Every structure is written in C-alpha cells, then in structure tokens.
Chains A and B, each alone.
Chain A
C-alpha cells in the first residue's frame, strides 16, 4: 500500500480548513481525480520502450566500464604512492647514509677558462714545450752557445724524457 493510498484526505484537510469547507474540498478533489481517471493518458509505444531499454543497457555498460577504468587507475596510482612511501619510510631507510655528495674539484676550477694555470701538470708541460720551442728556434737560427749537432741530440733526448714522463702521468 502506498503513502497515497494510506493517506486520510479528510484528516489532512481538517488541518487547514473549517469543518464545513472540508467536505466540499474533499468532493472537489475526488471529482477532479475521477475526471483524470476517465481521460486516461495514452500508453507509451512498445517500440519506444524497447529502444529505451536498449539505451539504458548500453549506458549502464558504458558507465560500468568507466567506473572500472577509474577504479583501476586509482588502484594503480595508490600502488605507486604506497611503493614510494615504502621506499622513503620502509625498512632500511634508517641505515641509509645521510652523507651528501660533494664535488672533489673546487668550483673555481669549473668556472675558470685558464686550464693551463689551473692544472699543475699542464703548466709544467707547457713550460717545457715553450723551452723546446725556444731551443728549436735557436737551432734554426744557429745561435751561438746552443751548440751544433750535439745540441740537436740533446734536444732529442730531452723530448724523449718528456714523453716518458708525460705517459707516466
């Protein structure tokens, strides 16, 4: 039995109207409702209902898929978050070194463009090369004091020594 059927209209009308008006109002309402009963509305077409049912089934299926997809995505996101938290807060995190990494080379060297001045080895070899260049130029110019063929042998020896030293590092 619906609320509508259980409803006591007379009792309800009494709450808002005087006793004489209640009976008249009750009659008016009942007569009006009988009128609506007498002029029944048409029923929906069976074909239309079949289409509606098909559309509802398709819509329900689509919604079900979307919900499943959303749930899957949420579960995947939750798993990533859980794994990240385990990585950060899980066992072993306490033993992890808290030392931070620092560069072993001073920052000024990274910033400098004067490589020769910054690297002692390079500075040494550069000065040696400079010296050899001077001796070569002296040989070319046949300058006195540097000494004829002995000087070139000496220079060759010196070059070999430098080469050995260079590869030793």
Chain B
C-alpha cells in the first residue's frame, strides 16, 4: 500500500514536470525495462537507445496516464517502442540479418566466448531465446520483466487470458528443453 502511495506521489510529480520525480521513475524501472529490451535484442547499445526512447516517451505521455497499473502502462509503451523499432526498415534488416546469421552459424555453446562465467551463461540464454518465435519470446520477457499478472498481460496484448497462458506455458517449456538439450 505504501509503495503504491509513493508511486502515485512520484507520478503526480512527473505530471507537474518535476525532474526529480522522473529520475525516481528511472531508478525504479530502468533495470527491468533494460532487461526486457536486452533479452529481446541481445544488443546492449540498442537496448540503451530503446531505454532512452522509452523514458523520453514517458515524459511526453505521462499526461495521458489515467491510473491503473503503472507497470502495465509503461511496458505497453516499451513493447510499442520495440515493435516500432522492428518496423524500421534499416534496423529491421540489420536485426534480422544478425539473427539469421546467428542461427545459421549454430554457435558452439561449449566453446566459451567470454572469460567470465556469468557472461557466458547470459549468452547461452540469449541464443536459446532467439530460437523461440518472436511473439512467444516477447510474451515470456514481458511476463518476466514487467511482473504483470496474466490478466494484465492479456489486456496489454489484447488477447484472451487463456491464449496468453497457453502460449507462455508452451514457450517456457520449450525454452527449458532448449537450455537443457
């Protein structure tokens, strides 16, 4: 309850154009939003760009936020930004080429590319995530990083809750098989 009151106060500050309130929103959500973008793109620089675009759009759109789950509103914008990015001709081509090359080359996951073990594990998850279809990957990452309920995710994606639940179940099961295989 205290958290939601605090969040409401911060959002009111944002609506008044208060820079400190915007900075607080960044501190609260940047990690999760960055994780979402990074897992979707596998590119840190691109994730930086998308994260920056997300928060600038937040400044522009905060007046249209009329209550409800702020995370749902924020991740809806994040999802739109990612899909806008995909629609961009040049960027899309670059991204798809990179993914295609990555899949065609079939990277040898037993051959460490990074000296740090944590970085190597990240790379493995990223490769396996890229093997899922884009929609399922988006759904899994949205659920994980936004921490929204299935009801909220179904509303955000404009699809029945049963469909979202079924897709997520199948997607996570496949991801686990890929990781273990």
Q: Could you tell me if B176 and A44 are in contact, using CB atoms closer than 8 angstroms?
A: no
Chain A proximity mask over B67-108: 1 for CB below 8 Å, otherwise 0: 001010000000000000000000000000000000000000
* Cβ-based interface call for B9 (8 A): no
CB closest chain-B residue, reference A37: B144
Chain B proximity mask over A33-68: 1 for CB below 8 Å, otherwise 0: 101101111111100110111011101110110000
Which of A5, A16, A29, A55 touches B162 (beta carbons < 8 Å)?
A: A16
Interface size class of B (residues with CB under 8 A): 35 or more
A-to-B contact residues, CB < 8 Å: 2-7, 12-13, 15-16, 25, 28-29, 31-33, 35-36, 38-45, 48-49, 51-53, 55-57, 59-61, 63-64
Contacts of A48 in B (CB 8 A): 48, 51-52
CB closest chain-A residue, reference B166: A16
Q: Could you tell me if B56 and A59 are in contact, using CB atoms closer than 8 angstroms?
A: yes
Give, as a whole number of angstroms, the nearest-CB distance from B109 to chain A.
13
Question: A73 CA to B122 CA in the complex, in Å?
Answer: 54
B-to-A contact residues, CB < 8 Å: 17-19, 22-23, 26-27, 30-31, 34-36, 38-39, 44, 47-48, 51-52, 55-56, 58-60, 69, 71, 121-122, 124-125, 140, 144-145, 147-152, 161-162, 165-166, 168-169, 171-173, 175-176, 179
For the A-B complex with A3-B148, A35-B125, A41-B35 known, give 17 more contacts whose Cβ atoms are closer than 8 Å. Answer: A4-B152, A7-B150, A28-B173, A29-B172, A32-B140, A32-B176, A33-B144, A35-B172, A35-B175, A43-B34, A52-B52, A53-B19, A53-B23, A56-B26, A57-B22, A57-B23, A63-B60
CB closest chain-B residue, reference A28: B173
Contacts of A45 in B (CB 8 A): 48
Contacts of A16 in B (CB 8 A): 162, 165-166
Give, as a whole number of angstroms, the nearest-CB distance from B35 to chain A.
3
Question: A3 CA to B155 CA in the complex, in Å?
Answer: 13
Q: Tell me if A's interface is mostly helix, strand, loop or mixed.
A: helix
Give, as a whole number of angstroms, the nearest-CB distance from A5 to chain B.
8
Q: How many A-B residue pairs have CB under 8 A?
A: 125
Listed A/B pairs (14) with beta-carbon separation below 8 Å? A4-B149, A7-B150, A12-B165, A32-B140, A35-B179, A41-B122, A44-B30, A44-B31, A44-B47, A49-B27, A52-B55, A56-B56, A56-B59, A61-B17
Question: A57 CA to B56 CA in the complex, in Å?
Answer: 9
Q: Could you tell me if A25 and B169 are in contact, using CB atoms closer than 8 angstroms?
A: yes
Question: A38 CA to B19 CA in the complex, in Å?
Answer: 35
Contacts of A38 in B (CB 8 A): 121
Q: Could you tell me if A60 and B48 are in contact, using CB atoms closer than 8 angstroms?
A: no
Q: Could you tell me if A3 and B17 are in contact, using CB atoms closer than 8 angstroms?
A: no
Contacts of A13 in B (CB 8 A): 165
Contacts of B38 in A (CB 8 A): 41-42
Question: A60 CA to B56 CA in the complex, in Å?
Answer: 9
Question: A41 CA to B51 CA in the complex, in Å?
Answer: 14
CB closest chain-A residue, reference B172: A32
Give, as a whole number of angstroms, the nearest-CB distance from B145 to chain A.
8
Q: Could you tell me if A32 and B151 are in contact, using CB atoms closer than 8 angstroms?
A: no
Q: Could you tell me if B140 and A36 are in contact, using CB atoms closer than 8 angstroms?
A: yes
